[in-house]
Structure 1
Amino acid sequence: MKPHRLIVLGASNVAKSLEVLLNVAPRMMPKPLEVYAAIGRGRSYGVASKFLFRGLPGILESELWPVLKKGNNEAETSCVITDVGNDLLYDQSVDQIIDWVEQCIIRLRQTEGRIAITGIPLSCVRSLAPYKFKAFRTMMFPRSRLQLQTVQERAEALDVRLQQLANDDDITFIPQKPEWYGFDPIHWKQAKRPEVWHTILSTLGHATFDYSRVHSSFFHSMKHWRTRPASRTLFGFQQTQTQPSIHRGEHLTVALY
């Protein structure tokens, strides 16, 4: 049977909701399904990043791309680009972030798959209190000295540029819904993660279903915390892992990069 591929690029939102995605996608996409994900907490699209004691290369420098080149290009493919605003807190300019996204799009075009890109959660950014911004900046990006106003201005500009990019390149643009976020202005609400993935995949043309029965819990957020990607550093030591690293029977595999 002809396999289907789902390629996902992102950061913390995808890492936290990966188990939810693996419960949603097989109900919407034909099987066998191969998931390729260049993701990770604190992940950048263009530069190496660290979260606690773990380091990852930028998404553009990950081993995902040579693997896709060698893969089955006859497989029907869907591609998701999300968490683009993460790089704003690394003090990257809007032009630089857009350049990285464009490079990803060029590479994804070689798969001949449909592409969706999510926007910036502007409602959260606009209403973010200074004390809350400082707390999240300190916790997630301790070296950052960015001011809230700068991030707000860049977020507005980045969302406009992403919409323009999507329109020019025939890419599906998915606005972030305010109700997907709560006290945490960066990450999707735990209870909303099934809806988010259902929205993204259905917008790409995949079958719908009653996602209210999909569970999303703190346990799901942490389930793949220890699952190794193809390459990372931990406490300064290089680690590698053969992919795919997740197998769910004969019909679902997940390769992490």
Structure 2
Amino acid sequence: MAKIDLNSDLGESFGPWPMGDDVAMLGIVTSANIACGFHAGDPAGILKVVKEAAARGVCIGAHVGYRDLVGFGRRNMDPSSAELVADVIYQIGALQGLARAAGTTVRYVKPHGALYNTIAHDARQAADVIAGIRAVDPALALMALSGAPVVAQARAAGLTVVCEAFADRAYNPDGSLVSRSLPGAVLHDPAQIAARMMRLIATGRITAIDGTDIALEAQSICVHGDTPAAVAIAGALRAALAAGGVTLEPFARGA
């Protein structure tokens, strides 16, 4: 029987400004990428989400990003290695403290937004993120873009890497994500999204935006929590997976 992890980016509300429906998503996903305050999230809100995840048995990971609240971490940046390594350590440490207070544990790291896309192919920034993770805890897994050079780079450095596919994002023929600035980059139809993910699990392949058929390794599927139909998309996907005999479970043991 096929198994897959279903993850979402949560804890991104800031003060009185809500972002997504974290409670509803925690009833659907098996892993939660929790904002660490650099691209989104505030301590009280993050702690609330972590407590809810712990109560539901949802695995949590540190969703580390560039120091970019205004741009929601989606603007390209070029910090020095000293800065980036320290920023990664700082964010993981912050979430570890909140997780301990909530009676749970941080199991993995998933870079956010522009940082995620940059380290997919930028060996220097990838090395910095890897170094930051290893400095805190080499047992932490790295969630990364399937097929990107960072996967082999992180594995060579001794990290466990979880390859991720995006349910609600369009792909370029080279396996990279279509820029959000382009039409069709974000998918919104729950039925279409569920069907393409079921095909991916069954065949290991997905259709790129130009119609090209590409291969993707995936141990986890992401549904973005900040899209308007996030809960409907995640719910439809979970229902389709269950109907197809796919077991949903967190990739990180002991979650």
Same fold (TM over 0.5): no
Q: Give the alignment's TM-score, normalised by structure 2.
A: 0.39
> Would you tell me which structure has more helix in proportion to its own residues?
1
Structure with greater contact order relative to length (CA < 8 Å, sep ≥ 6): 1
Q: Give the alignment's TM-score, normalised by structure 1.
A: 0.39
